[in-house]
């Protein structure tokens, strides 16, 4: 198996895994795995100049890329509830906080 086939197989495997992603964190992990596998395969080929080094580089790059992609995904904030007062009736009600709450723009 030559190096090109190894790179293509690693890239397709990472792409297939990233297609199963549901959340943004999982999508970033899948994209990171794909980019990491491609970069790792290139580095492995440059260092070892054989198929074994290419496959090891692709696997290592995919793992590292998935970890970095997952770690850099923005965290989802928990849905917080806020109290609002209707200015016409004076009634107080509870609803999900809008962007004014998070941005401090009341």
User: pLDDT for 12-71, tens place per residue?
Assistant: 666 666 555 456 667 777 888 888 888 888 888 888 888 888 888 888 888 888 888 877
pLDDT at 95: 81
Q: Stretch 2-18: mean pLDDT, rounded?
A: 67
CA nearest to 54, candidates 36, 39, 41: 41
Residues 87 and 38: beta-carbon distance below 8 Å: no
Categorise residue 49: left if φ over 0, alpha if ψ from -120 to 50, beta otherwise. Answer: left
Let me know whether 61 and 105 are in one domain: no
Let me know whether 10 and 49 are in one domain: yes
Q: Bigger pLDDT: 81 or 37?
A: 37
Let me know whether 86 and 51 are in one domain: no
Instruction: Say how far apart CA 63 and CA 28 lie, in whole Å.
Output: 13
Let me know whether 65 and 96 are in one domain: no
Domain encompassing residue 81: 76-106
**Which two structure tokens, joined as six digits, stand for 73?**
């995904």
Question: Which pTM value belongs to this model?
Answer: 0.52
**Which two structure tokens, joined as six digits, stand for 56?**
């090891």
pLDDT at 25: 64
pLDDT at 68: 85
Helices of type H across 49-98 = 51-71
């Amino acid at each position: 198996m030559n190096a090109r086939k190894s790179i293509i197989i690693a890239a397709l495997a990472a792409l297939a895994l990233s297609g199963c992603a549901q959340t943004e964190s999982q999508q970033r992990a899948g994209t990171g795995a794909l980019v990491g596998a491609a970069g790792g395969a290139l580095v492995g080929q440059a260092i070892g100049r054989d198929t074994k080094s290419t496959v090891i580089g692709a696997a290592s790059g995919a793992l590292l890329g998935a970890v970095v992609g997952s770690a850099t995904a923005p965290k989802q904030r928990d849905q917080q509830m806020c109290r609002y007062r209707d200015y016409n009736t004076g009634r107080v009600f509870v609803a999900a906080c809008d962007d004014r709450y998070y941005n401090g723009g009341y």
